[in-house]
Structures are given as structure tokens and as C-alpha cells.
Amino acid sequence: MVVAGIGVTAAFGGLAQAADEPPPKVARGAVVDQGEFRTQFVRAVDTVEKGTFGEQKRYLLITARVTNLGDETVGVGLLPEPGKIRSMPFSFAGSVLRVRPEIKTEYGPDVYASDFGIKSRFLQPDVTATVFMKYELEPTATAPTSVTVDVGRFVFEPLGLRDQTHYWQLVGDTEDDETFVPEVAAEVTLPVKQERG
């Protein structure tokens, strides 16, 4: 289960030397096999939407089509802070290892699934859902012209030597007792389109 991280350690602040081969670059809309998920990153937009109280808010919205290939319902989850993966993530968003350039927001991005106007925090087995990663932007901020998403891959293996229960686990290596360094399975670059709501 332990696999050396490819390129991600350097991306997370140079904790170790990067591997010789960079992760595969995947085109926008192409299917990424993440083991537990089949994912297509389809678009990124700089948009304006109505906030909770009717005010205008600006967002960078990254959209993916995600199919849960496992047998159980899985949480959409939260995106990890760049360089701060402390434990094994068990959600789709935990496999989104990094978004470049880093989009700084006060509380981090909101990540959720939504289809037919119904917002959800879960991915059902064998159902394709639209997942949104929504970063609030300052009204005067300059949005990037493109974003690059590094994604990891899951394998279905026993948790450990003593616990032989199989779980979907992110492929990577544990550097010490606290720091998990995931392997980057694919790198997807999306152009950011301007869209005004």
C-alpha cells in the first residue's frame, strides 16, 4: 500500500526530493480514474451570485462530475489545506490534493454535490453527481486565467496488519507519525472563464 509520492512533496514545501516522473497531465473533461471515483473536471468560472442575504458575492467555482464506484455512500468532504494533510482522508474532496494557484479565502472553499438544484454533502454509489468547489473572492481580486488541480488515487486495501478490514485509502506514504504524503495521480488544468450571474 505504501507508494512513494510523485512530485507532491516538493509541491508541499519541499519536504523531500521530487520523483523523476511528473504526474500525468489530463485534459479538461477527460476521465480521471481515482480508484474509488471516476472524475471529470469540466470547468472553472469566475462568477457573481446572490449571497444569503441578497448581496452580490464573487466566487471562483470549479466543477467536476464524480461517480462513486464504491459500494457505500461517501461524504463529499472538505479540501485539505495545502501542505497540511495530517491523516488519511476518506472523502472525495480529500483526494483533491492541491489547487494552483492557491486561492486564499478566509474559511476555505465550500465543497458540495448538487444535481437538479438539490445540494448534498454525500456521493451515492454508482451515481454521477456534479461536485462544486466554491472559493469566495474579494470583489476587486484578480482571478487567475487558469487553475491546475492535483488529484490523488484510492486503493481498496486492508487498513493495517492487525485490522484486515478493507477500506478505500489514498495512495501515498507516511513520512512520520503525523504527516501523510499522497501520490499525485493526475494533474488537470482548467481555463477560468468570466461569467456574470
Is 119:151 a contact under the CB 8 Å cutoff? no
Give the pLDDT confidence score for residue 18 in this predicted structure. Answer: 45
Total length of the chain: 197
Give the pLDDT confidence score for residue 12 in this predicted structure. Answer: 40
CATH code: domain 25-148+186-194 is 2.60.40
Give the pLDDT confidence score for residue 146 in this predicted structure. Answer: 97
Q: Read off φ and ψ for residue 95, nearest 5 degrees.
A: -90, -10
Give the pLDDT confidence score for residue 6 in this predicted structure. Answer: 35
Neighbours of 45 (CB within 10 A): 18
Give the pLDDT confidence score for residue 20 in this predicted structure. Answer: 62
Is 28:190 a contact under the CB 8 Å cutoff? yes
Instruction: Please identify which residue in the block is written with the cell numbers 478493507.
Output: 166
Give the pLDDT confidence score for residue 85 in this predicted structure. Answer: 65
Give the pLDDT confidence score for residue 62 in this predicted structure. Answer: 97
Q: Where are the domains of the chain?
A: 25-148+186-194
- Sign of the alpha-carbon torsion through 149, 128, 69, 111: positive
Give the pLDDT confidence score for residue 1 in this predicted structure. Answer: 38
Q: Which grid cell is 93?
A: 474532496
pLDDT, mean of each 10-residue run, the chain (197 residues):
38 43 91 96 94 88 96 92 67 92 89 90 95 93 94 87 82 75 92 85
Is 127:65 a contact under the CB 8 Å cutoff? no
Is 186:151 a contact under the CB 8 Å cutoff? yes
Residue 125 is classified by DSSP as B
